[in-house]
Amino acid sequence: MSSGLSINTLRGVACLLLVGYHVIGDSSSSGLRLPDEHLASQLNDWLALVRMPLFSFLSGIVYARRPLTGAITPFAIGKTRRLLLPMLIVGTGFALLQNLTDGTNNEGDYNWWLLHTVPVAHYWFLEALFILFIATAVLERLGWLSTPRSFWTIWLLAAALHCWGRLPVYFGLNGAAYLAPFFLLGVAAQRFGLHLAGPRWTPALLLSVIGGLILLWALIDAPTDNQPGLQRLVVSVCLCLLLLRLQPESRWLAWVGTWSFGIYLFHPVFTAGARMLLKSVQVQEVGVLLTAGLLAGLAGSIALTAMLRRMPYGHWALGEKPSRRPTTRTDAAAAAP
């Protein structure tokens, strides 16, 4: 299977794509508020084909490295702590910050009675991923993911749900349907060694990506996040598998990738702060705003994550277990090198 360096490199790539997405914005009324025909806006739309699919694909790979082997209940409790607790703490804080801060996108645009029932901003991914983990755990216990034949039957059903299912937005159900084929593809990549396929698969995947992009362009059908469709699914699947086959390795991207969860949680606060600060001093150059937003989103998130790990109860916001610290002189002496 791909090395840890390669997987973390791809995590770093996914982080760059996600932070860049929120810097640019998903429409002319968010982010840098660029017109829809601007090159950066169009590129942002097309990168939807790889952005969240790659995050989900990598999550599937990581799950398959340590799959469910025991009871579902402890597994579900662990995922609740890891995903839903940060969603509640950080997501609620984010919604309040947007409501109280002038100049943010969609300021106050929340139904507070349905907060998190209707997912908050990009935190929908955490709810959707929780659903996928639990559904996968149930399928594991039923033995439906243990053989290639049964696994790919489940995958085809997930692909059909992705393309043609219409689930409600509540609790991230529609997001789970969108991400399911990519998460399961990651599980299959680890479990069945998809990266070990013959060398002819690399050019075949590349040609499939190029052909799919040309088809989408010919249909004047630029993709958007969470927008299902068979052509988009084929291109996204091929992109994920192609990246896995290429096994890119970059130490600085891999380092960024090790902070991916904190970056996912916190980056919009820092990208918005950088944008508002620069615009307040009349900086309007798109390149400057984009670069500053990317750097602020990454560096600010990493710094905040590191700080929370040192704070009492800060681990709750990160969904992590508390770090064990020596409590007596005897313990401290035993812990010393």
Give the per-residue pLDDT at 179.
97
Six token digits for residue 302: 């990493």
Count of domains for the chain: 1
Partners of residue 115 on adjacent β-strands: 118
Domain that holds residue 274: 4-335
**Radius of gyration of the chain measured on its C-alpha atoms:** 21
DSSP for residue 165: -
Six token digits for residue 255: 């380092």
Give the per-residue pLDDT at 227.
64
Q: What's the pTM value of the predicted model, to 2 decimals?
A: 0.90
Give the per-residue pLDDT at 21.
95
Give the per-residue pLDDT at 210.
79
Which residue is it, tokens 């709810």?
127
What whole-number distance in Å separates Cα of residue 180 and Cα of residue 63? Answer: 13
Digitized pLDDT (tens) for each residue of the chain, 337 residues in all: 567 899 999 999 999 999 999 999 988 888 899 998 899 998 998 899 999 999 999 999 999 999 998 899 999 999 999 999 999 999 999 999 988 877 666 555 788 899 999 999 999 999 999 999 999 999 999 999 999 999 999 999 999 999 998 899 999 999 999 999 999 999 999 999 876 665 666 787 778 787 777 777 666 555 655 567 888 899 899 999 999 988 899 999 999 999 999 999 999 999 999 999 998 898 999 999 999 999 999 999 999 999 999 999 999 999 998 876 544 444 433 333 3
Give the per-residue pLDDT at 329.
42
DSSP for residue 311: S
Long-range contacts of residues 30-34, Cβ cutoff 8 Å, at least 24 apart: 30/105, 30/106, 31/105, 31/271, 31/275, 32/275, 32/286, 32/289, 32/290, 32/293, 34/286
Reduce the DSSP state of residue 250 to 3 states and report it: coil
Residue 65 CB partners (closer than 8 Å, separation 6+): 1, 190
Residue 107 CB partners (closer than 8 Å, separation 6+): 98, 99, 101
**CB atoms inside a 10 Å sphere around CB 211:** 14
